């Protein structure tokens, strides 16, 4: 990281000091962070991508989007100011004759995470660049807060219109972050599935009365895992929530999670060696 990037004004948000942005080792913490993110920013859950392979929710961008429903004092975060060519999804042609497809949620979120860390917009040691501080904007000042709200409504505002993160950091060239994300995707997802299964097994052992909730969470977080385990988790969760016997359906939950853990546990060691 360059000296200039290292000296940019920063704030901590959601992630703990020293915590990397890729892979959630504790998926229960990741689930809480989703609720905290929605509560603090006011953003709709439909406007964010949440996959535990990235430790924070990532706001979904669109051309010209001003995140007008987000709490104005939350717009200091660089997640809301990524350049469009970085933030919008890349279309992938998997074979010569295939129709291009956009990045999946997980592919996109991994690439964005790589851009955030590669540019220095987020560092585990010091947190997030404070975009408002770069441009002399203080949302605690009533005049600045009113200016942010007016800009969100579509009016011009000199300082907000001037925000350009490329004046302060460097993003990857020639789709480098995309290529790295595609290369890392299988390992990252495998390791995340193992972390997810292991943490949920531990949570069930700690609080067996909440097994239905943990099964529901597991089915959602493991949705992209290609085996039948996510379906088995969802079926067991539905049965338990409908009053099914714990003795009958509880073991099905643990069996599904154990199958996922055994399938992908080696990926954790591989990830830790990087």
**What SS3 class is residue 101?**
strand
Written as six digits, the tokens of 86 are: 């970085």
Res. 7 pLDDT band, cuts 50 70 90: confident
pLDDT (0 to 100) of residue 125: 96
In 3D space, the residue among 199, 234, 230 whose CA is nearest the CA of residue 213 turns out to be 234
Separation of alpha carbons 41 and 74, rounded Å: 6
Q: What is the pLDDT of residues 46-105, one digit of tens each?
A: 999 999 999 999 999 999 999 999 999 999 999 999 999 999 999 998 888 889 999 999
- Please determine, for residue 1, whether its predicted confidence score (pLDDT) is greater than 80: no
Res. 121 pLDDT band, cuts 50 70 90: very high
The string of DSSP letters for 212-264 reads HHHHHHHHHHTTT-SSSHHHHHHHHHHHHHTT--HHHHHHHHHHHHHHHHHHH
Q: What is the pLDDT of residues 175-215, one digit of tens each?
A: 999 999 999 999 999 999 999 999 999 999 999 999 999 99
**Lowest-confidence pick of 4-18, 59-73, 121-135, 238-252:** 4-18
Separation of alpha carbons 74 and 40, rounded Å: 7
């Amino acid at each position: 990281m360059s000296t200039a990037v290292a000296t940019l004004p920063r704030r901590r948000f959601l992630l703990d000091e020293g915590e990397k942005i890729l892979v959630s080792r504790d998926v229960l913490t990741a689930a809480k962070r989703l609720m905290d993110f929605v509560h603090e920013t006011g953003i709709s859950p439909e406007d964010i991508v949440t996959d535990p392979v990235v430790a924070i929710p990532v706001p979904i961008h669109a051309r010209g989007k001003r995140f007008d429903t987000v709490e104005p004092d939350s717009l200091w975060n660089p997640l809301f100011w990524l350049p469009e060519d970085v933030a919008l999804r890349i279309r992938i042609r998997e074979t010569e004759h295939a129709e291009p497809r956009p990045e999946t949620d997980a592919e996109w979120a991994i690439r964005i995470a790589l851009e955030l860390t590669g540019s220095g917009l987020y560092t585990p040691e010091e947190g997030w660049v404070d975009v408002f501080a770069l441009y002399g904007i203080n949302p605690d000042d009533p005049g600045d807060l009113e200016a942010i709200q007016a800009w969100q409504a579509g009016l011009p505002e000199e300082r907000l219109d001037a925000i350009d993160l490329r004046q302060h950091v460097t993003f990857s060239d020639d789709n480098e972050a995309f290529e790295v994300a595609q290369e890392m995707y299988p390992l990252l997802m495998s390791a995340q599935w193992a972390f997810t299964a292991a943490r949920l097994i531990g949570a069930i052992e700690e609080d067996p009365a909440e097994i239905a909730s943990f099964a529901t969470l597991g089915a959602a977080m493991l949705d992209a895992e290609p085996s039948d385990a996510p379906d088995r988790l969802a079926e067991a969760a539905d049965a338990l929530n409908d009053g099914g016997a714990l003795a009958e359906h509880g073991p099905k939950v643990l069996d599904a999670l154990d199958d996922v853990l055994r399938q992908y546990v080696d990926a954790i060691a591989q990830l830790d060696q990087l």
